[in-house]
Amino acid sequence: MDHTTRRRARQQWAAWAFLAPVVVYLIVFYAYPLYRNLDLSLHDYTVRSFVQGGARFTGLDNYRAVLHDPSFAPALLHTAVFTLTSLAFQFAIGMALAVFFRQRFRLSGTLRALFLVPWLLPLIVSASTWSWMLNSDSGVVNSVLHTLGLSPINWLTSPSWSLASVTIANIWIGIPFNLVLLHSGLESIPANIEEAAALDGARPWQRFWWITFPLLRPVSAITLLLGLIYTLKVFDIIWIMTRGGPADSSTTLATWSYRLGFGNLLPAFSPGATVGNLLIVLALIFGLIYIRAQRRQNQP
């Protein structure tokens, strides 16, 4: 063996020695819990067999039961409505703010930084604040509606409004993330392209629509896909504000899974894990699309 190959072999050993802790960690704290989850969904676990073992193997019975459960279709629909509405508003508002803040003016940096605060707050803080703001009798939102001569809305306690309420709170939390990503995307577009268009007489809106927006497409795709993956798994906000209620009107796959596993006195771990695994499949599909989009952006 010559010198370079020996050195390279030594480097490989060193590399994997440095990586060993993380690899072990990923196996024990990611792969194994996920395996346990799969195992739960393929057996009929009761509270007793959960502790003592010996649950009956039931194959795909849990999946069949979940797909035929009357809660499944509404939960899937709510997940889709919650996710898509959140994304559309977060992205549109985030984009408008990013374009606005791109023009340097006094305090622009400071104010943009302040926009990050909602994203950094613990979700339970945001969720409980919104709960109180949307309170039917004493909430500030209904008080404003009253001043405007509108009738109050039972934001969190009426089945027709609960999903809208949690979506509004989630949009508020997600705007900063979109703003930061889109703003840094805008910063990477050379200013002279737009200046040239301005000299050619393009109006600001035309410049945005025909030049900036197409150039921003890769960053937009990544922002939307990441937002999609994050929104699919939103659980805290919904659970804290409405617990998925009233009458399941704001139940998504994430809250349904949690309620089955942890939300009742008698936990139903196997169905809970089953719903969870379906959610993982959804997240992974979009995750793979995201990774593809990101690869493409890095190799122009």
Partner 1 sequence: MTGKRTWWHTPVAIGLTAVMLFPIYWMINVSFTRGQDMRKSPPNWFPVHGTLDGYRAVLDQQLPYLGTSVVVGLGTVALTLILSAPAGYAMAKLRPAGGGVLSFVLLIAQMIPGVIMAMGFYAIYLAVGVVNTVPGLILADSTIAVPFGVLVFTAFMSGIPEELVEAAEIDGAGYLRTFWSIVLPLSRNAIVTVSLFAFLWAWSDFVFASTLDQGGDHQPITLGIYHYIGNNNQEWNAIMATAVVASIPATVLLLAAQRYVTAGVTAGAIKE
Residues 256-285, interacting with partner 1 (CB under 8 A): 257-258, 261-262, 269, 272-273, 276-277, 279-280, 283-284
DSSP 265: S
Determine, following the binding rule CB under 8 A, whether residue 129 of this chain makes contact with partner 1.
yes
| Binding residues for partner 1, total number by CB under 8 A | 104
Q: Ramachandran region of residue 252, left (φ > 0), alpha (ψ -120 to 50) or beta?
A: beta
**293 near partner 1 (CB under 8 A):** no
Q: Which of residues 77-116 bind partner 1 (CB under 8 A)?
A: 97, 100-108, 111, 113-116
Under the criterion CB under 8 A, does residue 232 sit at the interface with partner 1?
yes
Q: Which of 207, 189, 188 is nearest to 197 (CA)?
A: 207
Question: Is 209 a residue that touches partner 1 (CB under 8 A)?
Answer: no
Regarding 236 and contact with partner 1 (CB under 8 A), the answer is yes
- Based on the shown chain and the rule CB under 8 A, indicate whether residue 130 belongs to the binding site for partner 1: yes
198 is a contact residue toward partner 1 (CB under 8 A): yes
Select the residue interacting with partner 1 from 133, 153, 163, 224 (CB under 8 A).
133
Task: Indicate which single residue of 42, 171, 216, 240 sits in contact with partner 1 (rule: CB under 8 A).
Answer: 240
- Using the rule CB under 8 A, is 219 a contact of partner 1? yes
Q: Compute how many other C-beta atoms are within 10 angstroms of the C-beta atom of residue 234.
A: 23
Which helix (H) or strand (E) segment holds residue 44: the answer is: strand 43-44
Distance between CA atoms of residues 66 and 138, nearest Å: 39
Write out the binding residues for partner 1, residues 51-80 only, by CB under 8 A: 51
Beta strands per DSSP E along 106-146 = none
Cα pseudo-dihedral 190, 191, 195, 196, rounded to 10:
-10
